[in-house]
Amino acid sequence: MPIWIDQLLRAKFRDVYFQVDSIEHQAGYNLVVREYPFQDLPTVFRMGQGAEEIKFSAYVIGDDYMEQRDALRAALDAPGSGDLVHPTAGTMSVFVSAKYSIKENPTAEGGMARFDLTFVRGEVRRYPRGVANTQATAKEKSLAAQIASMDAFFAAYDLSNKPGWAADRSVARVTDSVSAIWANMSKVTSGLGDFTNTAIGNYQAVRDGISTLVRQPRQLAKAISNLFALPTDLSSAAARDFAASFEGLFDMGKKVARKDFEVSVMPAVGAGLVMYGTGSSTGLGLDTPARRQLAVLNDTSDQLVESLALAGWVQAIAAADMTSYDDALALRGKVNDQATRLLLRASTQAASDTLPTSSWHDATMAMLSASLADIRDRSRDLARLTTYTPDGWMPVWLVSYKLFGTVAYADEILDMNPHITHPLLVPPGKPLRVMRHD
């Protein structure tokens, strides 16, 4: 992939996102110069500040570049001014100046289109403010959480001095977990060219070498983490597909059930063999040191897989667009629930004998905070919209009152529906775009 694509920055116009790499400003004052005979110096009249023009190329890239292209064209063709958010020029209200050109390349990098745009600033200049790149921060923290998860696994997973049956059961669970991971990931990694070949190779490496890797926990953790890799050129739609696959691995207890030999089952009275005594598992001698060691090994491998799945989910969502405010709320709930569940479960487990080089708890908390901040900041401009179709001619204040019980939102309804030519005459039969205030 060309290096220049990695240097593109995110911008938007009228809530339509695209990528930019540079910007050109044309600004200054309009001057009138008068020259007279026998006068060495001209007379200069300053006529006020001229129109400031902003020029740059906007890129839409990915498998869904056609949909992105059409959305950007619709935003550019809309009448009036709009808000332009540029990563280096800041936020400004602008008008689209004259015509713009579009150059398409449907084969490179999954498809792309370049818009050569010119805008005219329509307001008093507001100097740009530094804005944190929340997507990059979320990705950075998730990568740190992956490393901390591997360190925690290396510190706690040790098959030495364990009973043979317990070690065999633990290895079988890791093998089943790897199979469950690939069953999920193979659905979204197919058809992606070189990335598909790499993913298949990673799976075959850990599957064929697991009998050796279980004796080398650090190498095993690294091999499993490779199964959660993401393509470098990830479209928004593909990112959501990867996130859905990662989400399916959030609870390995349901994906890979423990064997009957690992779980104590007490039959109900009359439903099976009743042994002499109180009937408690402690009395039957099932709570043995070997079983406790097996439980620790299984919990350690489950935590590795679930932590890597959450980190991969955070990276995928950071690369995906949110469709609505409700979608953003659902994403925040998912990452918070999964991280909280992992943290609570880890808090009840005994500390490992070996101290890991990084703190899994701190890294998971940092990843959770970064992901929540990213989703929050990118959903600020997402309004929860609905529609309302008047059944007769009516004033806009009546529409506001019918929907919200107050006339306070009449101006908002007018702004969002430019087809209303007079506030007293809202036409019937045509749906109105209305922002929800519930």
**Domain CATH for 397:** 3.10.350
Q: Which residues contact 340 (CB under 8 A, 6 or more apart)?
A: none
pLDDT of 271 reads 57
The answer to whether residue 264 sits within a structural domain is yes
Q: What is the mean pLDDT of the chain?
A: 83
The answer to whether residue 129 sits within a structural domain is no
Picking from 68, 57, 73, 69, the residue whose alpha carbon sits closest to that of residue 9 is 57
Cα–Cα distance for residue pair 367/314, rounded to 1 Å: 8
Q: Which DSSP string do the residues of 41-64 spell out, in sequence order?
A: SPEEEEEEEPPPEEEEEEEEESTT
pLDDT of 313 reads 95
pLDDT of 307 reads 93
The answer to whether residue 128 sits within a structural domain is no
The torsion region of residue 48 among left (phi > 0), alpha (psi -120 to 50) and beta comes to left
**E strand or H helix at 117, and its extent?**
strand 112-121
The answer to whether residue 21 sits within a structural domain is yes
Query: Are 73 and 216 in the same domain?
Result: no
| Residue ranges making up the domain that contains 294 | 134-376
Query: Are 148 and 250 in the same domain?
Result: yes
pLDDT of 126 reads 53
Query: Are 171 and 229 in the same domain?
Result: yes
Query: Are 364 and 237 in the same domain?
Result: yes
The answer to whether residue 342 sits within a structural domain is yes
Query: Are 191 and 309 in the same domain?
Result: yes
Contact 382, 322 (CB under 8 A): yes
Count of domains observed in the chain: 3
The torsion region of residue 405 among left (phi > 0), alpha (psi -120 to 50) and beta comes to left
Query: Are 347 and 238 in the same domain?
Result: yes
The answer to whether residue 9 sits within a structural domain is yes
Query: Are 187 and 145 in the same domain?
Result: yes
Query: Are 170 and 230 in the same domain?
Result: yes
Size (the chain), residues: 438
Query: Are 277 and 318 in the same domain?
Result: yes
Query: Are 207 and 346 in the same domain?
Result: yes
Query: Are 114 and 152 in the same domain?
Result: no
pLDDT of 290 reads 79
pTM beyond cutoff 0.75: no
Spans of the chain below 70 pLDDT: 1-4, 107-110, 123-131, 257-287, 383, 438
Query: Are 58 and 100 in the same domain?
Result: yes
- Give the relative orientation of helices 289-318 and 164-189 as an angle to the nearest 10 degrees: 20
